[in-house]
Amino acid sequence: MFSNIDTLFSVSAIPWPSPQEAALGVELVRSGSLLVFAVLMMVVMWALAASVLIGTWYLTTRGEGLVWPALGWMAATLFALSAFRNTAPGSPPIGCVLDWFAFLWAESVIALCVIAVVLAGVRTALRADGGEDDGPDGEGAGRPGPGGTGDLGRASRQ
């Protein structure tokens, strides 16, 4: 009557002990492979958030300015997590255990890291622009000319 062919659930039917009643006990649980994959997804989300956090620490403590490749990687990670979350088996609704234990926290950590890197980079770039001496013609050596963008730190000169 019941078959165990669904990859998302494990189904078992147990006959009821009373011989005079037509009853059936059904147990429906998640399959082991689904749980392993969901836990692996949560570990990957936390690992990505930790790597962005380490990158943020590195960029903000070194005074590198606005490092565009790093910002691109962080922003890509921020938006890639949404697509990665949607690949969860069974397309779970928003608010599932995966969201509460990993996705929402990882998204928050990465978003705050991107904001921190941008603020630290802008502060470093402004400090570099305002701290240089005037050139021989009275204009700032580090200030941009008409239509220029200015110096964004050591990383932008590489």
Contacts of 88 (CB under 8 A, 6+ apart): 38, 41, 96, 98
- Please state, in angstroms and rounded to a whole number, the distance separating the CA atoms of residues 76 and 72: 6
Distance, C-alpha 101 to centroid of its chain: 13
Show me where the domains of the chain are located: 36-132+147-153
pLDDT tier, 65 (very low <50, low <70, confident <90, very high otherwise): confident
Q: Could you tell me if 48 and 64 are in contact, meaning their C-beta atoms sit under 8 angstroms apart?
A: no
pLDDT of residue 130: 79
Q: Return contacts of 96-100, CB within 8 angstroms, 24+ apart.
A: 97/38, 98/38, 98/41, 98/42
Q: At which residue do the structure tokens 């701290």 appear?
A: 131
pLDDT in tens, 111-137: 999 999 999 999 998 988 876 544 455
Burial class (CB in 10 A: 0-12, 13-18, 19+), 150: middle
Residue type, 149: T
Task: Identify any residues that bridge with 10 across adjacent strands, giving them in sequence order.
Answer: 29
- Please state, in angstroms and rounded to a whole number, the distance separating the CA atoms of residues 113 and 87: 25
pLDDT of residue 60: 93
pLDDT of residue 15: 67
- Cα-Cα-Cα-Cα torsion 91, 93, 94, 96, nearest 10 degrees, comes to -90
Q: Is the pLDDT of residue 43 over 50?
A: yes
pLDDT in tens, 95-115: 888 888 999 999 999 999 999
Q: Is the pLDDT of residue 11 over 60?
A: yes
Q: What is the DSSP letter of 58?
A: H
Q: Maximum distance among all alpha carbons in the chain?
A: 105
